[in-house]
Amino acid sequence: MPVKFTVRKVLPVKETGDVIAVGVWLSGSSSKGGRGKKPEQTPLDGFDRAMNGALLKAQKKDEFKGKKDSTLSLPIQTARVKANKLIAFGLGEHRSITEADIRTFAAKAARAANGERAKKLVLGLPAGAEQFLRAAVEGVELGAYRFTKYLTGDRKPKAELTQVTITTINEPPANAKDLVAQGQHVGHGVNLARDLSNEPPNELFPDTLVLAAKAMAKEHGLKIQAFDFAEIKKRGMKLLQAVGQGSERKPTFAHISYVPAKPKKRIIVVGKGITFDSGGISIKPAAGMGDMRHDMSGAANVVGLMAIIGALKPNVEVHGIFAAAENMPDGAAYRPGDIWGSLDGKSVEIVNTDAEGRLILADALAYARELKPDLLIDNATLTGACVVALGSTCSGYYTSNEDTAKEWSAAVAGSGEQMWRLPLIEELKDQLKSDVADLKHTGDRWGGSISAALFLREFIGTTKNWVHCDIAGPAIGDRIRGWDPKGGTGHGVLTFLKVIEHAAAAAPATV
């Protein structure tokens, strides 16, 4: 059931809900108003009195002052407050607060509400946070997310969050209604990406991933073109064919487009859609192989992102493209030692069939570049090396364009998603030299995420502006339940959206 949001300028103590969660600036860090003026209100105002002094006592005991990431949780034992629980979240210094902090606060609150089996949550924004209303709504949607589709009986959640009242101290923004709707669309899109990523590989495979993309496109009035195995072969997507042919579930390819009347830019987002990565003939060890059900997180991100684009309708042309395949060992599987052509035309010597992602992406990039994008983004759970380098809560990204790098890092700051820039070190290209083909598709262990990026770069043609994201974290799954922007499924979508919205807001028309 969708969450119903209400926004109201009122003190949380006057509201009714199962849980009241409020954000609190570090004491003394907020503008208190000038001399002789009343101190600024906070969302905790009124609680101490209503609770007969229990709040101040608990604040003293726990030394709760609103420090960032501190919390204070109190059961409510008075009829004067119409809730079961009050939770205060410390937000730190008012002046250093960001959109990402408010999103995370709201997500934590929603997650706590789920933990309390709450149906109704009151979310109290502190004074000055009104401008981040959309991020707060996004956070609630993301934090309330659970993947419960396959639970039955007692394992099904007992309650679901259905109502959220967001309270403000100052007047809420005039376009509060729009901001709430936008925030919900964003949350739903990221959660769609997470749902797809979390689906098990016996249910979600190349064909059903395309069906999900089609359902999304229909709902949001987007155009979608999908290729089946015959079409993939006909078009010369040989690398996608190679990777996909060793499975009963044949590969697919999808191109979703959103084309407004006078777009400012054309941006393409490409995703890796390996619905299960066994490693193929170069099979993976058993431990953790099940995590490879998330190896289509890049494609899932594309579908979730396009759902948001279809709903928010930014003035930028956006194309979402994914190649999907199941990487399996089989009599028909491609082998180490094979030499395959590609959509680009280059020949590729196969070294290790577990490096399948870069192969299907190579064909997807060669397809995408023909659309002449101003910015070409790809995202993929591409290498274990990236997880080794950055851990499972951070993605890596590559670009050789310094302006794009700046823009990207601003987008990352706004999304709160951890993503670090990694370098395209040219020397490592030597590792991709083959004696028998134009390229070898893997290098050695060292610098594995970089050599994968260098391999992909061979397939972008003359595209000037390309960003490659090695989103390693999501392959480890939705390990951070209830959302914290670090890692987990859906990681990356908020950043891509920021880049697109920035292009829509700032750039003059280029066409």
Number of residues lying near ligand BES (CB under 6 A): 17
Residues 452-481 that bind ligand BES (CB under 6 A): 472, 475
Burial of 8 (0-12, 13-18, 19+ CB in 10 A): middle
Stretch that binds Mn ion, among 50-58, 90-98, 272-280, 317-325 (CB under 5 A): 272-280
Q: How far is the CB of 227 from ligand BES (least distance, A)?
A: 22
Q: 């981040």: which residue's tokens?
A: 132
Among 18, 354, 363, 501, interactor with Mn ion by CB under 5 A: 354
User: Phi/psi at 462 (nearest 5 deg)?
Assistant: -95, 10
Question: Shortest Cβ distance from residue 357 to Zn ion (Å)?
Answer: 4
How many other β-carbons are positioned within 10 Å of the β-carbon of residue 95?
A: 11
Question: Among the candidate windows 249-257, 349-357, 371-379, 419-427, which touches ligand BES by CB under 6 A?
Answer: 349-357
Residue 88 token pair: 């205060």
* Residue 236 interacts with, from ligand BES, Mn ion, Zn ion, none (CB under 5-8 Å by kind): none
Catalytically annotated residue among 134, 358, 369, 498:
358
Q: Is 301 in the site for ligand BES (CB under 6 A)?
A: no
The residue range among 275-283, 366-374, 377-385, 435-443 that interacts with Mn ion, by the rule CB under 5 A, is 275-283
Measured from the CB of residue 463, what is the shortest distance to ligand BES in angstroms? 23
Q: Which is nearer to ligand BES, 277 or 374 (CB)?
A: 277
Query: Considering beta carbons, is residue 381 or 399 the nearer one to ligand BES?
Result: 381
Report, in Å, the least distance between residue 23 CB and ligand BES.
Answer: 34
CB closer to ligand BES, 30 vs 392: 392
Residues, the chain: 511
Give the residue closest to Zn ion by C-beta: 277
The answer to whether 169 and 41 have CB atoms below 8 angstroms apart is yes
385 binds ligand BES, rule: CB under 6 A: yes
Q: Which residues bind Zn ion (CB under 5 A)?
A: 274, 277, 295, 357
Contact flag: residue 256 with ligand BES (CB under 6 A): no
In the complex, the smallest distance separating the C-beta of residue 24 from ligand BES, rounded to whole angstroms, is: 38
For ligand BES, the binding residue among 139, 244, 448, 487 (CB under 6 A) is 448
Residue 354 found at the interface with ligand BES (CB under 6 A): yes
Q: CB nearer to ligand BES: give 101 or 277.
A: 277
Q: Least distance from C-beta 48 to Zn ion, angstroms?
A: 54
Task: Compute the C-alpha angle 349/355/356, nearest 5°.
Answer: 90
Helix (H/G/I), strand (E/B), else coil: 42: coil
- Residue 472 interacting partner from ligand BES, Mn ion, Zn ion, none (CB closer than 5 to 8 Å by kind): ligand BES
Tokens standing for residue 256: 């979703």
- Supply the minimum distance, in Å, between the C-beta of residue 485 and Zn ion: 23
338 within 8 A of 226, measured Cβ to Cβ: no
Q: Judge whether 358 counts as a catalytic residue.
A: yes
Block residue for tokens 């920035």? 502
Q: Check: CB of residue 243 under 8 Å from CB of residue 275.
A: no
List the single partner that 333 binds among Zn ion, Mn ion, ligand BES, none, CB under 5 to 8 Å by kind. Answer: none
Nearest residue (CB) to Zn ion, 104 versus 241: 241
From the list Zn ion, ligand BES, Mn ion, none, partner contacted by residue 387 (C-beta under 5 to 8 A by kind): ligand BES
Cα 446 to Cα 10, 381, 443: the distances in Å are 57, 18, 8
Nearest-approach distance from CB 442 to ligand BES, in angstroms: 4
Q: Which two tokens stand for residue 84?
A: 């079961």
First-to-last C-alpha distance (Å) of the chain: 42
In the complex with Zn ion, which residue's Cβ is closer, 182 or 275?
A: 275
Residue closer to ligand BES by CB (options 111, 194) is: 194
Q: Which residues sit opposite 320 in a β-bridge?
A: 256, 269
Our CB check for Zn ion shows the closer of 361 and 500 to be: 361
Q: Which of 284, 313, 457, 479 is catalytic?
A: 284
Contact 484, 104 (CB under 8 A): yes
Does 260 help bind ligand BES (rule: CB under 6 A)? no
Is 470 one of the binding residues for Mn ion (CB under 5 A)?
Answer: no
| Tokens found for residue 148 | 């419960």
Calculate the alpha carbon distances from 218 to 113, 153, 212, 252 in Å: 33, 33, 10, 18
* Residue found by looking up tokens 């993605």 in the block: 395
349 lies in the site for ligand BES, by CB under 6 A: no
Give min distance, CB of 272 to Zn ion, in A.
7
416: exposed, middle or buried (Cβ count in 10 Å: 0-12, 13-18, 19+): buried
Cβ–Cβ under 8 Å, residues 449 and 391 = no
CB burial readout 472-494, b (16+ within 10 A) else e:
bbbbbbbebebbbbbbbbbbbbb
Q: Give the CA angle between residues 340, 342, 346 to the nearest 5°.
A: 85
Residue 277 makes contact with Mn ion by CB under 5 A = yes
Strand partners, 435: none
DSSP alpha helix (H) spans, 86-161: 99-115, 133-143
Instruction: Look up residue 432 and give its DSSP letter.
Output: G
Residue whose CB is less far from Zn ion, 295 or 363: 295
Site size toward Mn ion (CB under 5 A) is 2
417 touching ligand BES, by CB under 6 A: no
252: helix, strand or coil? strand
Does residue 269 sit in helix, strand or coil?
A: strand
d(CA 347, CA 384): 25
Residues in contact with Mn ion by CB under 5 A are 277, 354
Report the catalytic residues: 284, 358
Residues in contact with ligand BES by CB under 6 A are 277, 295, 352, 354-357, 381-385, 387, 442, 448, 472, 475
